[in-house]
Amino acid sequence: MEPSSEESDPVARRKDGSATTPDDPAAAPDLDPSWVEAVQRRLIAWYDHHHRPLPWRETRDPYRILVSETMLVQTTVAAAIPFYHRFLERFPTIDALAAASEADVLKVWEGLGYYRRARLLHQAARVVVERHGGTVPSDPHTLAELPGVGRYIAGAVRSFAFDQPAPIVEANTQRLLARWLAIQTNLKAKPTQDRLWRAAERLVPPDQPGRFNQAFMELGALICKPTQPDCPLCPVTELCQARTLGLEERLPILSAKPTLLEGRELAVIVTLTHGGDANASTQSILLVQRGSQGLWAGFWEPPILHLDGANPAERPTIGPQPTSDDLAKALNALVGLPLVFSEISSSARVSSSSPLVTPSAWEDCDDAPFQLQANSPPSREPRPRRTRRSPADRSSIRYVVTKHRMTLEARQARVASPTASPPAANVSTATPEPRVARSGNLVEARFVTRDHLAALALTGPARSILSPWLAAVR
């Protein structure tokens, strides 16, 4: 195969800054069959002795591989494993997944984040059942037509389930390729991505391609890490152009991360006590369901209002300093029902006896990471350590979602009720209120008891705020 003009470009430079030439092996070592064969042989030999026993490596079932690879997009292996087991326990076959409701699928997926993946996986299952008799297709073109199946997932399913020599390029393998080939262009640029895919296609062998691809990813996960790669333990270190040129710490080249936009929100925990007993176990909590578009589409949360700054979730805006009267009017406008409040707290501080806000680990939202913060800069690690602070020590929580850093304050409100029964399950949201800029992204409001709370799919901020109630019913 003749190298393209892109592959002949002198992208690699030595320590002294001098450029390689098209005839130099550093420019495109993957065009050398002996280099390719050496990488294949050394990588597979290393994998046989050092790979991790991951659950999806124990099966050739294309459905289970499709589930695992969908989960592993933008998610670490450690985070995906418990969800993989839980998901397959609930949906053991593709027919079971296809027959489920979207609400059931999202609830089982809850906490893993990037919920669009779950929706597309559900749609793919229905297509497989309706058009392919419940059998995941092995044909590359048919497989690629399934919802949510892009080039990487298609390559993973083809090589792991059907033993087809399909290339894969994902977070780990593209880092390896950038270093092996000493590519000094932006990793996310289209010409660079095209170059990586061509190299991956040349590297995957016709014999045991699935084993090679697993080894390919495993080396990136365990040895060739984003920072401080453990080159002395790498089985192909002598074949790595970045190592030869002294560039292993500088590659790959990534775009600068954008500055996060700041915003403030206010969550109001509205409770209704039944039977005159103020114990939390006898209370219902007011939740609203988000619409079918935007962040956390279709998920439930307490009423959350936008105060100022950025507003990525498109919540109704009330202004930076709302009074208790402002909140009462805003909440009535939000749910479309004239609720009578017996109390609305005037302070956002969460007392040690109040079950409003507790620490939580990393969460994910629909299209980007959701991360709780304890008034600290955002972590760049996939799973930051849990920060434990007493609820009495803070008046708000902070989280990162998409390209925003949000501060979420909390207040508590109690609804006066002369009866022991909660309101009807569905509360209309049709009545407008001119004091609040309504987002139009809420479809239902409901008072929920503790027993029913755990059955609903909650947004990331809601899971953190309501964690005491969730813990009580587990």
Pairing of strands 283-290, 442-449: antiparallel
Q: Are 219 and 44 in contact (CB under 8 A)?
A: no
* Active-site position among 69, 110, 363, 409: 69
Chain segment 221-257, per-residue pLDDT in tens:
999 999 999 999 999 999 999 999 999 999 999 988 8
Tokens 């027919």 sit at which residue?
95
* Residue 412 in tokens: 């508590």
Chain segment 141-179, per-residue pLDDT in tens:
999 999 999 999 999 999 999 999 999 999 999 999 999
- For residue 416, the model assigns a pLDDT of 72
SS3 assignment, position 412: strand
Q: Which residues of the chain have pLDDT under 50?
A: 1-16, 18-25, 347-394, 418-439
Would residue 69 show up in a list of annotated catalytic residues for this protein? yes
Of the candidate CATH numbers 1.10.340.30, 3.30.465.10, 3.30.300.30, 3.90.320.10, the domain formed by 5-245 belongs to 1.10.340.30
Domain extent listing, the chain:
5-245, 261-472
CA torsion, points 315, 316, 321, 325, in degrees to nearest 10? -130
The CATH topology of domain 261-472 is: Nucleoside Triphosphate Pyrophosphohydrolase (3.90.79)
How far is the C-alpha of 278 from the C-alpha of 258, rounded, in Å? 47
- For residue 362, the model assigns a pLDDT of 26
Q: Are 159 and 216 in contact (CB under 8 A)?
A: no
Neighbouring C-alpha atoms within 13 Å toward the C-beta of 166: 23
